[in-house]
Amino acid sequence: MSTRSMVKFLWKKRMLFFCEAAEACTNDMACGKCGLGPSQAGWALSGTLPFEALGLSHLGWASCLDRIDGLLHRIWTMTVVVGDGAVFCSAMMVIDYPVDSDVSLHRHKHSAQSLITRENQRTRMSCGESKVVCVTGASGFIASWLVKLLLQRGYTVKATVRDPNDQKKTEHLLSFDGAKERLHLFEADLLEEGSFDPVVDGCECVFHTASPVLLSSTNPQAELIEPALKGTLNVLGSCVKVQSIKRVVITSSMAAVRFNGKPLTADVIIDESWFSDPAFCEKEKLWYMLSKTLAEEAAWKFAKEKGIDIITINPGWVIGPPLQPTLNLTVELVLKLVNGTEKFPNDTYRFVDVRDVANAHILAFENPSASGRYCLVGKVKHCSEVVKMLHEIFPALNLPDKCEDDKPFTPTHQVSKERTQTLGVKYTPLEVSLKDTVESLKDKNFF
């Protein structure tokens, strides 16, 4: 069943209803006519529906006032988002009703039909059709989702990997819908100057995600700092030579935001004005944090000097279903918890879902008014609370019931969502991220 007929079917069966403050309505879609974005109301599916089984993950909507046949109407434009979060562009539906009478669906079918066509044209354009973009470090956890969503939105993706002949790094990318026609793999290394020149050539946007993610290192300068710092400057150096590039979106990290020695008490709200302090990171031997801090600092300095438009996305601890066959560091935390460990870490994490991170990167490019840094954290939770949540979702799993030490639990601070909300980011609930991560790890036989 096509998504459009599915929506019609749901509506007919009265399974779709209008509700205030709808939880399920998480996609954003500014209206093409008046530019209105999502506000307090939305469309939701009845809680009794087999929502996931139907392949629907979100419904997006926009509304505007329009005069049709002399009557003032509110036009609701619905976008159905399928599966793992990509906008299903061709499935737009316009539902209109006169604002001065009761809801009457399809009352002005012909006018609505022409709006559908117009909206479809607009959506296809805004969804990246015929746009060429580059993703560095494409085989990584976050980048794999980014490539998948970009392809689903119609972009042509030039993706860099260190070794295009390594099937473990590329097979999953090549299996994505649209990959055959619109994914091009390139070999590039962060440490090789000029390595990215041929890749970024002809692109409108470069998403720079490649950077080593290691929390312990015997040679931090070579293993972390050089690839992060030199790598970022190499990529930006290639971008500055190319006229077609409108914006560079850099995957920075909360590691470049919160490590400044300030105590994280319960009343603290971290926001984009926070910067990690390189001297503090060095003193505490926080090498990954230092690598991300120096890389972001250098990127802003370079952008200012050369006059290029950059944005940094600063995610917290990213979890969610991995697309790549190998395990990455942050998902490993969840695997350890469900895989028979007796003790959980006495630590507080700033969680965010990988699909929200990939989506935020795309929104940062697509939204012309986006600028600066965006802290991306869905929920701050102590590990003990994560274990509790996992127990509620998977009561049969053998989960740790002791903390690794008997120190008091660190208090839970907050991270501001204000800026990411202006970008249109809607956060996946932590319960959903945990459930999807564990199920994906099980499917991939990690435990």
The conformation of residue 225, written as its DSSP 8-state character, comes to I
Give the one residue of 87, 239, 289, 318 binding ligand NAP; rule: CB under 6 A.
318
The two most distant CA atoms of the chain are separated, in Å, by 73
Site string for ligand NAP, 145-164 (x = CB under 6 A): ----------------xx--
Shortest CB 139 distance to ligand NAP, Å: 4
Q: How far is the CB of 34 from ligand NAP (least distance, A)?
A: 36
Q: How far apart are CA 191 and CA 188, in angstroms?
A: 9
Q: In this structure, what token pair is assigned to residue 434?
A: 């945990």
Helices (H), 127-223: 141-152, 167-174, 179-182, 197-200, 220
Q: Within its chain, how far is the Cα of 26 from the centroid?
A: 13
What is the contact mask toward ligand NAP in residues 94 to 133, using x (rule: CB under 6 A)?
Answer: ----------------------------------------
Which residue is it, tokens 């954003």?
28
Nearer to ligand NAP, 59 or 354 (CB): 354
Helix axes 167-174, 141-152, angle to 10 degrees: 20
By the rule CB under 6 A, 137 interacts with ligand NAP: yes
Q: What is the CA radius of gyration of the chain?
A: 23
Angle at 119 between CA 423 and CA 181, to 5 degrees: 80
CB of 193 to ligand NAP, least distance (A): 12
328 lies in the binding site for ligand NAP (CB under 6 A): yes
- Distance of closest approach, residue 253 Cβ to ligand NAP, in angstroms: 3
Per-position DSSP letters for 119-146, written without gaps between them: HHHHHHHHTTTT-EEEEETTTSHHHHHH
Q: Which is nearer to ligand NAP, 63 or 211 (CB)?
A: 211
141 binds ligand NAP (CB under 6 A): yes
Q: How far is the CB of 431 from ligand NAP (least distance, A)?
A: 18
Q: Which residue has the tokens 């008014």?
A: 369
Site string for ligand NAP, 200-239 (x = CB under 6 A): ---------xxxxx-------------x------------
Calpha distance 106→96 (Å, rounded): 6
Q: Is 444 in the site for ligand NAP (CB under 6 A)?
A: no
Considering only 330, 359, 420, 428, the residue that binds ligand NAP (CB under 6 A) is 330
Does 437 sit near ligand NAP (CB under 6 A)?
A: no
* 147 in Cβ contact with 183 (< 8 Å): yes
Strands (E), 316-367: 317-319, 343-344, 348-353
For ligand NAP, which residue of 75, 112, 142, 206 counts as binding (CB under 6 A)? Answer: 142
Binding site for ligand NAP (CB under 6 A): 137, 139-143, 161-162, 169, 189-191, 209-213, 227, 251, 253, 292, 315, 317-318, 328, 330
